[in-house]
């Protein structure tokens, strides 16, 4: 019920609220003290650092809310077309530093807290690191939100407010142990619960037919259970703009209505129990990256957030004055982040046809004009397929809709290609077999206006290998550009400005303004200084500063002292066989063996190196977990060997996460992006490393290829076979022609000897199993050995590492390459990526909120 405008003195209220919170240091101090006392019930004389963080968070929240509310009003007033990003994951990372930077409050905040005797950076460390995502896909979504706000685009994110994010990784005796991450703790000051914004979401039940009030034949989905989706808003401030957008996350709550029959049947406790279970739905993020788990709860999560989001955006649409359904595509664009939200195709149809009473044909026309789909992987094990039986039970109406859509689709194809063309079974949404399944990729492509890959090579693979029949179909109907490329990016605000303030200061000083932060092409202006000796000394000082922070971090997390003059070599990403952390650690063993062979005098001449490897393994991924154990064990041997430890150190860094990345990335000299060609769709940390002046050791895969194009061949240490060579090498290997380099043989021998097993029989067996699998020593006939061609690429990997050492020996040359690469990264700002999405896919235009709005 709305307040009665006659009784309540609205005008008076408006006047009172008609001023923004002031942003001078003294006002910030006052806000801080007020929140400490009145919001947190602390006294000014007795509070902890955590209280201080929370009060500072509330100071920011006030300002974020003002901006969020006004931006929403502005978008509404302007009646703009809106974009909606649907993603099951957002790896947002800590809010505070980013919010201060984007709200342009860095100076006054710094002064305010110095004035209170506090160090801002210490407050940042009090914040939990919200990890509502697995890896690259979730982090990309978070960078996208930052760019959408910065570009003043009227775009929102929708997702799930998991109570437990990505698990915390502990390393015990060299092995991964997963610990729950209850990130919400005592509440997050940056999120705004909206108990007034809820939608019912039905699951299970059955479909009946009946008549509506007007006597028209209609379909009813009834029974089952109803879960309530409640909104939690997360303001996303843009940089250098007054716009603040929203990330709306849904939490599952028991439905508001009581089932009175249940109560009268004296099943009170049962009924409360079943309501409590509703909350399990948004309890936990599935910790899989680039594979999927066919668990029923996961499908429930997907439908839950998709349904709530579509209900919310359609409600917003029909609140527009004189809306017409035919205008929906002029006002709404939806992006499906991978197939995780793809049930949206059927849900949009259900909402339009069953609830809004739009005719089927028009509803399909609207759906296919509004929805778009991004593919993030071509790994077959990651392509989602749900058993028909599961969908039929959980979403009976959706199965009917998908069946009808498929029928019409197949008829269309038969007309084009003949009744029995083999393309028909490839293009059908249903996969036949013992267990009949729905292919979500096919459903997504069919329901989408545009389909995109995330790097040039990846988009080509989608067209030629993953969905060739679809691509042919698109060409046949004259729409080859239904599949487009949108190369990924990262936000320079978090990944340069916040993560590496020293580098940000250098750029701003040499370029004369901080414009580069919203227009990275400005960095080209650094190129003329790339041989400038003054810049060189400032650049090297910046690296030293970053390395000092890294050293403190590694000391704390790994209890290891690292030499800050050493070359820092980092590989941080999810542990996966295709990413080949195994090849990296095998090379470290080889380097160790070479060092051991040398005389002390010769060792003195070799390049010192510190190799850091970090990343989480999916909890059920056996081989990935063995690789972690191997890395840990190799570290234990090498780091304490007095012959070599001065020249080579290696550590597994536990609990890799966004905040760890912000410390590690700026300190790297080189980073490893060494996936088998054709397997890594894009990669995004590669971009962050180079923006921070690190160089890449990498394969011709994903975005590496485009980074090389932008920065120049000389800035990258490329090795390994090319994508078009992979099939041939694998075929030869299968037929027994697969030679193993003698240096790698020596590494295998050391592992088999138990040199890294610490006398643990279990580890010994596991390590041997890894090596045996590479060498394909296993059950006859099944070649499932070195799937990712570690053996075949190993010699050229050694060569690339030798080139790294040789180049690093020339400090001035290295520094020049580092400056050259970092200054050539404009293409990889998500500002560029998002502009392309907005122009080519969404048709959404900036709506810049003027400040004098109030
Ligand atoms: O998406 C990133 C890319 O840069 C990476 O190359 C790619 O591996 C990553 C199922 C995924 N692909 N697929 C996933 C994540 C969670 C899940 O449950 C699949 N992640 C990627 C951004 O484009």
Task: Map tokens 């022609």 to a residue.
Answer: 737
Pocket test for ligand 1, best of 142, 290, 297 (most atoms within 8 A of CB): 290
Q: Is 618 in the pocket of ligand 1 (CB under 6 A)?
A: no
437-439 and 430-431 beta bridge pairing:
antiparallel
Give the pLDDT score at 45: 82
Query: Which pLDDT tens digit goes with each residue over 231-240?
Result: 999 999 999 9
| 377 Cβ inside 6 Å of ligand 1 | yes
Q: Is the pLDDT of residue 257 over 90?
A: no
Packing angle, helices 742-753 and 790-809, rounded to 10: 100
Q: Please check whether residue 613 is in contact with residue 571, taking contact to mean a CB–CB distance below 8 angstroms.
A: yes
The residue contributing the CA closest to ligand 1 atom 16 is 289
Strands 175-179 and 192-203: unpaired
What the block records as the tokens of 325 is: 């359904």
Q: What is the DSSP string of 457-484?
A: HHHHHIIIIISHHHHHHHHHTT-GGGEE
Catalogue all structural domains in the chain, each as residue range(s) with its CATH number: 22-78+96-127 (no CATH), 531-825 (3.40.50.2000)
Residue with tokens 């409600």: 315
For residue 18, what pLDDT band results from cuts at 50, 70 and 90?
low
Split at pLDDT 50, 70, 90, the class of 217 is confident
Q: Which atom of ligand 1 is nearest to the CA of 288?
A: 18
The whole-chain average pLDDT of the chain stands at 95
Kindly tell me if the per-residue pLDDT of 742 is higher than 90: yes
Atom of ligand 1 nearest to the CA of 702: 6
Residue from 134, 136, 454, 677 whose mutation best tests the ligand 1 pocket (most atoms within 8 A of CB) = 136
Residue 716: both structure tokens together: 């990258």
Residue 105 predicted with pLDDT over 90: yes
Interatomic CA distance for residues 420 and 557, integer angstroms: 61
Determine which residue's CA is closest to atom 1 belonging to ligand 1.
Answer: 137
347-362 residue pLDDT tens: 999 999 999 999 999 9
**Whole-angstrom Cα distance, residue 521 to residue 517?**
10
Q: Does the structure show a pLDDT above 90 at 734?
A: no
Coil, strand or helix: which one is 513?
coil
688 is catalytic: yes
Ligand 1 pocket residue status of 290, Cβ below 6 Å: yes
Residue 249 pLDDT exceeds 90: yes
What is the whole-number distance in angstroms between the Cα of residue 289 and the centre of ligand 1? 6
The answer to whether 313 and 84 are in contact (CB under 8 A) is yes
> CA-to-CA distance for 640 and 339, rounded, in angstroms?
47
Any ligand 1 atom below 6 A from CB of 701: no
Q: Is 682 close to ligand 1, i.e. is its CB under 6 Å away?
A: yes
Q: What is the pLDDT of residues 782-837, one digit of tens each?
A: 667 899 999 999 999 999 999 999 999 999 999 999 999 999 999 999 999 999 99
The two structure tokens encoding residue 456: 């040039």
580 is catalytic: no
In the predicted model, is pLDDT for residue 852 greater than 70?
Answer: no
Is the CA virtual torsion 203, 204, 207, 213 positive or negative? negative
* 8 A C-beta contact, residue 84 and residue 155: yes
Which contiguous run of DSSP H or E holds residue 284? Answer: none
Q: Where are the alpha helices (DSSP H) in 788-841?
A: 790-809, 811-822, 830-836
For the question of residue 479 being annotated catalytic, the response is: no
- The CA 468 to ligand 1 mean position distance, Å, reads 21
Q: Is 376 a catalytic residue?
A: yes
Query: What is the per-residue pLDDT across 457-515, written as a single tens digit (0 to 9) for each?
Result: 999 999 999 999 999 999 999 999 999 999 999 999 999 999 999 999 999 999 999 99
Given the residues 439, 576, 579, 609, the one annotated as active site = 579
Specify the pLDDT at position 782.
60
Q: Which of 466, 684, 699, 830 is catalytic?
A: 684
Q: Is 488 in the pocket of ligand 1 (CB under 6 A)?
A: yes
């Amino acid at each position: 019920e709305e307040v009665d405008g006659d009784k309540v003195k609205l005008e008076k209220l408006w006047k009172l609220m008609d001023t923004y919170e002031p942003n001078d240091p003294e006002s910030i101090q006052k806000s801080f003290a007020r929140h400490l006392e009145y919001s947190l019930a602390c006294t000014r004389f007795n509070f902890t650092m955590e209280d201080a963080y929370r009060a500072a968070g509330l100071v920011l929240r006030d300002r974020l809310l003002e901006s969020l509310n006004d931006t929403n009003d502005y978008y509404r007033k302007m009646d703009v077309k809106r974009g909606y990003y649907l993603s099951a994951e957002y790896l947002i990372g800590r809010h505070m530093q980013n919010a201060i930077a984007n709200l342009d409050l860095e100076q006054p905040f710094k002064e305010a807290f110095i004035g209170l005797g506090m160090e801002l950076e210490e407050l940042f460390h009090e914040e939990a690191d919200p990890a509502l995502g697995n890896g690259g896909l979730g982090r990309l979504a978070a960078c996208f939100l930052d760019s959408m706000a910065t570009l003043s685009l009227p775009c929102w994110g929708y997702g799930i407010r998991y109570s437990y994010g990505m698990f915390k990784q502990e390393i015990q005796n060299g092995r991964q142990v997963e610990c729950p991450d209850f990130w919400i703790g005592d509440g997050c000051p940056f999120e705004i619960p909206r108990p007034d914004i809820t939608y019912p979401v039905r699951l299970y039940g059955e479909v009946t037919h009946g008549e509506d009030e007007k006597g028209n034949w209609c379909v009813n989905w009834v029974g089952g259970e109803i879960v309530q989706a409640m909104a939690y808003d997360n303001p996303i401030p843009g940089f250098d703009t007054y716009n603040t957008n929203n990330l709306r996350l849904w939490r599952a709550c028991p439905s508001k209505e009581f089932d009175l029959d249940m109560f009268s049947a004296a099943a009170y406790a049962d009924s409360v129990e079943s309501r409590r279970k509703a909350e399990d739905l948004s309890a936990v993020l599935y910790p899989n990256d680039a594979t999927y788990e066919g668990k029923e709860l996961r499908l429930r999560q997907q439908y839950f957030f998709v349904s709530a989001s579509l209900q919310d955006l359609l409600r917003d649409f029909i609140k527009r004055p004189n809306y017409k359904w035919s205008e929906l595509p002029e006002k709404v664009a939806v992006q499906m982040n991978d197939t995780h939200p793809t049930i949206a195709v059927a849900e949009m149809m259900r909402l339009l046809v069953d609830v809004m009473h739009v005719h089927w044909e028009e509803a399909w026309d609207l759906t296919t004009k509004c929805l778009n789909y991004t593919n993030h992987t071509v790994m077959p094990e990651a392509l989602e397929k749900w058993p028909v039986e599961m969908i039929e039970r959980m979403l009976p109406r959706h199965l009917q809709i998908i069946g009808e859509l498929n029928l019409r689709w197949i008829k269309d194809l038969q007309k084009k290609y003949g009744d029995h063309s083999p393309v028909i079974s490839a293009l059908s949404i249903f996969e036949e077999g013992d267990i009949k399944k729905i292919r979500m990729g096919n459903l997504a492509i069919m329901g989408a206006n545009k389909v995109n890959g995330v790097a040039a090579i990846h988009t080509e693979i989608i067209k030629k290998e993953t969905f060739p029949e679809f691509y042919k179909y698109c060409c046949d109907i004259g729409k080859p550009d239904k599949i487009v490329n949108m190369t990924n990016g990262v936000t320079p605000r978090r990944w340069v400005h916040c993560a590496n303030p020293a580098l940000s200061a250098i750029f701003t000083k040499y370029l004369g303004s901080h414009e580069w932060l919203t227009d990275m092409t400005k960095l080209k202006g650094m190129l003329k200084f790339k041989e400038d000796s003054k810049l060189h000394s400032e650049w090297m000082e910046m690296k030293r500063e970053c390395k000092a922070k890294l050293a403190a971090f590694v000391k704390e997390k790994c209890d290891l002292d690292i030499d800050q003059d050493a070359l820092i070599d980092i590989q941080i990403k999810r542990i996966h066989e295709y990413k080949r952390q195994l090849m990296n650690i095998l090379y470290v063993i080889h380097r160790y063996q070479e060092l051991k062979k040398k005389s002390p005098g010769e060792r003195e001449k070799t390049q010192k190196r510190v190799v850091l490897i970090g990343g989480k393994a999916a909890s059920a991924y056996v081989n990935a977990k063995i690789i972690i154990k191997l890395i840990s064990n190799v570290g234990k041997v090498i780091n304490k060997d007095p012959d070599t430890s001065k020249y080579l150190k290696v550590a597994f860094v536990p609990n890799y996460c966004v905040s760890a990345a912000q410390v590690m990335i700026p300190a790297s000299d080189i980073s490893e992006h060494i996936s088998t060609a054709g397997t890594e769709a894009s990669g995004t940390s590669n971009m962050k490393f180079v923006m921070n002046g690190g160089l890449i050791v990498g394969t011709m895969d994903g975005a590496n290829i485009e980074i090389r194009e932008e920065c120049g061949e000389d800035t990258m240490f490329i090795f390994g076979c090319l994508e078009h060579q992979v099939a041939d090498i694998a075929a030869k290997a299968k037929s027994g022609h697969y030679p193993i380099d003698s240096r790698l043989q020596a590494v295998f021998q050391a592992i088999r000897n138990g040199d890294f097993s610490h006398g643990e029989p279990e580890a010994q067996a596991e390590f041997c199993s890894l090596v045996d699998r590479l060498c394909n020593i296993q059950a006859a006939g099944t070649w499932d050995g070195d799937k990712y061609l570690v053996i075949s690429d190993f010699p050229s990997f050694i060569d690339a590492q030798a080139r790294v050492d040789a180049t690093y020996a020339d400090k001035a040359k290295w520094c020049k390459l580092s400056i050259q690469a970092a200054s050539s990264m404009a293409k990889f700002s998500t500002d560029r990526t998002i502009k392309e999405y907005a122009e080519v896919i969404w048709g959404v235009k900036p709506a810049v909120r003027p400040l004098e709005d109030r």
